[in-house]
Chain A
Amino acid sequence: MATNSTSAPAAKGVADTERRRPRLSPDTVSGYGFLAPFLIVYLVFLVYPLFRGFYLSLHQWDLLAGPLGWTGLQNYQDLLTDPTFWTALGNTFYFVVLTVPLTTVLALVLALALSKPTRTNAVFRAIFFSSSIVSVTVVTLIWQMVLSPSRGILAQALGTVGIPPLDWLNDQHLAMLALVIATVWWSLGLPLMLFSAGLQQIPGDIYEAARLDNASGWRTFRYITWPALHRTTVLVVLIEIILHFQVFGQPFLMTKGGPAGSTRSLVQYIYESGFRDWHLGYASTGAMVLFVVMLIASLAQLHFSRKED
C-alpha cells in the first residue's frame, strides 16, 4: 500500500530513502499501472496501424484476397503518376483555400459583433453553433434539399424574385462552391467559439484606455484586438486546414465526387481506391501522403498552441 510520492515532506525522509532503493519505485509501478489501459489501446489501435499502413503501402493488397506480394515503392510511383490522384489533391487544396478564409473571416466578424457578454449574444452564438452539432449525413441531406433546383427552398426563394433555378450539384463550376457553402454552414461554430474565447482574454482596461483616447473603432481593432488575437487566428487557421483537408462526406454524399471528378477529395480517392477498387495497398499509399501533409500541419498547431503558455 505504501505508494508514496517523492514529494513527501522531510519528516518522512528516512523512510523515503529506503523506498527509493528498489529499482522499480512504487511511483513507477503506479504510474505505468494507471497509464497501461490507455497505452495498450494506443499501441494496438493507433501506433501499430500507422506502421501497418506503411507496410500495406509497400504491397499489392486486395480487399478480400489479402496480400498479393511485395511491390516496393511501385504503389508510390503509380500514385504520383495517376492524374486522378492529382486532380483529387488539387480539388482538396481548392476546397481548403475557399473554405478556410471564408470560415475564418465570417467567424471573426461574428465573434466581434457578439463580443459583449450579454444574454442575447450568447443566444446568437448558440444559434450559429447549432448547425455544427449534426452529422455530415444530415448536413449533406439538408443542403442537397436546399440546393435542389426542382424542390429546393433556395430555388423557391429566388424564384419569387424571378431568378431561374441553378443546378448547383451538377454544374462543374458551382458544385465545389455548393460543398463550400454547406461546409461553412456546418463548421462555423468551432472557429466562432475559439475567437470568442480569445476575445474574452483581452483585458477590458485596454479598451477603456482606447476609448478615452477617442480611438476609432477601426483603429481599436487594428492596434488592439487584431494583435491580441494573433495566436488565436493562427490556431484557428491551422485547425481549419487540418479539418477541411480531410473532407470526405460532403463530396461523397452530395456530388459523388462529380461532375466529371471536379469535387473528388483526397480522402474520397483513398476510400474509393480501397473499398470500390479493392486495392488496399494502393489506398494505404494515398493515406500515407495524407498523413505526411497532416503531420506538418499538426506540428505547426502543437507548436503554436504550446507557445506563450
Chain B
Amino acid sequence: MSDATTGRRRADTGRIVTLTVLVIAAFLWLVPMIWVLAMSLKPNEVLMRTTAGLLPVPFTLDNFIQILNTAKVTRWFLNSIGVAVLMTGITLVLSSLGGYALARIPFRGARIMLIFIIAGLTVPEQAVFIPLDTMFASWHMNNTIIALVTPRLAVPFGVFLMMQFFKAVPKELEEAAILDNASRLKIFFKIMLPLARPALTTLGIFTFLYAWNDYLWPLVSATQENHYTITTGLASLQGNFAQSEGLGFLMATAVFASAPVLIVYLIFQRYIVQGIAMSSGK
C-alpha cells in the first residue's frame, strides 16, 4: 500500500469521526428544545406522571388552545409585538438619518459628534436602568409602551452600523445628484436609502430580536401585569406553574413566546450572520 493511500484513508477516517462527533453534538444541543416542544404538545395529566420522551405521544394541541383562551398571555404577546415593531421602526429612521450625516455630510463638528456618539457604546443598559426608572417615574410614564421603547433608541449601535455602511457606498453615486443641485433629503431618500436595504434589514432584525428578548428593563419599567411583555410575563408564570399541573401549558407558552424570533431567524439567518461580521468591525 502506498503512502498516499494510507494518508487518504487516514484523512477519510478523520472526516468520518469528525462528522459523527458533530452529529451527536448537534443532536445533544437541540435535545433541550425538542424536549420542551414535545412537552408542550402533551396533555398535562400525562406530564404529571412522566416528563420523559422526546416525541409528543400522546399528542394534543390543548395547551396551545388554552394559551389563546388566556387573555393575559395573548395580551403580553401583543405588547411584545407593539414594542418590537415600534422600536425597530424608529431605530431604523434615527440610525439611517444619523449614520448618513456622520458618513457623508462634511459638517462642522462632525468628528467631535462621532466621538461623542461612539462613546455611548461603552454605556450598558445595566448601568443606567435605575436613573431611567426614576425619570419615567417622575413623568408618570412607567407601564407605558413609550417607556419600554425609548431607552433602547438611544443606543448608538444602529447609527454606527449605518455609518459604516454609508461610508462604503461609492461617492460617484451621490455626485451626479449633487451636480443637479438635489437637496440632501432628496439624495438620502432617492439614492442612499434604497441602497441601504441590506444594512437596514440587518439592523432591523437585530433590533427586533433585542426588543423581543429584553428582560431587565421591561421587568423594571412595566410592573403591572397587563403591561408585561411576553418575556417578563413568561418569567412571572414560571414560579407558579412549574410545580403544579400546568407544566404542558407553561412549556407551550415558552414555545409560543419563542415562535416569532425563531421564525425571524429561519427566514433571515443570512442577514444575522452578515450582521455579526459587520458589527465586529470588519
Shortest CB-to-CB span from A271 to chain B, Å, is 7
Shortest CB-to-CB span from A22 to chain B, Å, is 12
A115-144: contact bitstring with B at CB < 8 Å (1 yes, 0 no)? 000000000111111110111111011111
Q: A133-B265, A197-B277 are in contact. Are A124 and B22 (CB under 8 A)?
A: yes
Cβ-defined contact, B258 with A291, below 8 A: no
- Set of chain A residues within 8 Å of B272, measured between Cβ atoms: 129, 193
- Set of chain B residues within 8 Å of A248, measured between Cβ atoms: 126, 215-216
- Set of chain B residues within 8 Å of A49, measured between Cβ atoms: 128, 131-132, 135, 151
Cβ-defined contact, B106 with A145, below 8 A: no
- Set of chain B residues within 8 Å of A288, measured between Cβ atoms: 127
Which of A4, A35, A127 is packed against the most chain B CB atoms within 10 Å?
A35
Q: A50-B127, A135-B257, A141-B250 are in contact. Are A30 and B281 (CB under 8 A)?
A: no
Cβ-defined contact, B281 with A38, below 8 A: no
Q: In this assembly, does B78 line the interface, its C-beta being within 8 Å of a C-beta of chain A?
A: no
User: Which chain B residue shows the least CB distance to A15?
Assistant: B181
Q: How far is the CA of A45 from the CA of B39 in the complex (A)?
A: 42
List CB contacts (< 8 Å) of B156-178 with chain A: 156, 159, 171, 175, 178
Q: In this assembly, does B134 line the interface, its C-beta being within 8 Å of a C-beta of chain A?
A: yes
Q: In this assembly, does B81 line the interface, its C-beta being within 8 Å of a C-beta of chain A?
A: no
Shortest CB-to-CB span from B239 to chain A, Å, is 9
Q: In this assembly, does B46 line the interface, its C-beta being within 8 Å of a C-beta of chain A?
A: no
- Set of chain B residues within 8 Å of A135, measured between Cβ atoms: 212-215, 231, 234, 257-258, 261
Q: How far is the CA of A48 from the CA of B171 in the complex (A)?
A: 36
- Among B94, B98, B232, point to the contact of A137 (Cβ < 8 A): B232
A78-86, A202-210, A219-227, A292-300 - interface stretch? A292-300
A263-299: contact bitstring with B at CB < 8 Å (1 yes, 0 no)? 0000100110011000010011001101100110011
- Set of chain B residues within 8 Å of A309, measured between Cβ atoms: 281
Q: In this assembly, does B55 line the interface, its C-beta being within 8 Å of a C-beta of chain A?
A: no
Shortest CB-to-CB span from A298 to chain B, Å, is 4
Q: In this assembly, does A46 line the interface, its C-beta being within 8 Å of a C-beta of chain B?
A: yes
Cβ-defined contact, A291 with B117, below 8 A: no
Shortest CB-to-CB span from B191 to chain A, Å, is 13
Q: A7-B106, A136-B213, A291-B124 are in contact. Are A142 and B130 (CB under 8 A)?
A: no
Cβ-defined contact, B131 with A52, below 8 A: yes
* Chain B interface SS verdict (over half): helix
Cβ-defined contact, B108 with A45, below 8 A: no
- Set of chain B residues within 8 Å of A108, measured between Cβ atoms: none
Cβ-defined contact, A142 with B36, below 8 A: yes
- Among A31, A114, A274, point to the contact of B101 (Cβ < 8 A): A31
Q: Which B residues contact A (CB, under 8 angstroms)?
A: 18, 22, 26, 29-33, 35-36, 39, 51-52, 93-95, 97-98, 100-102, 105-110, 113, 117-118, 120-124, 126-135, 150-151, 153-156, 159, 171, 175, 178-179, 181, 183-185, 188, 209, 212-216, 219-220, 231-232, 234-235, 238, 242, 247, 250-251, 254, 257-258, 261-262, 264-265, 269, 272-273, 276-277, 280-282
Q: Which A residues contact B (CB, under 8 angstroms)?
A: 1-9, 12, 25, 27-28, 30-35, 37-39, 41-42, 44-50, 52-53, 55-56, 61, 66, 113-114, 124-131, 133-138, 140-146, 151-153, 156, 185, 190, 193-194, 196-197, 201, 232, 235, 239, 242, 246, 248-249, 253, 267, 270-271, 274-275, 280, 283-284, 287-288, 290-291, 294-295, 298-299, 302, 305-306, 309
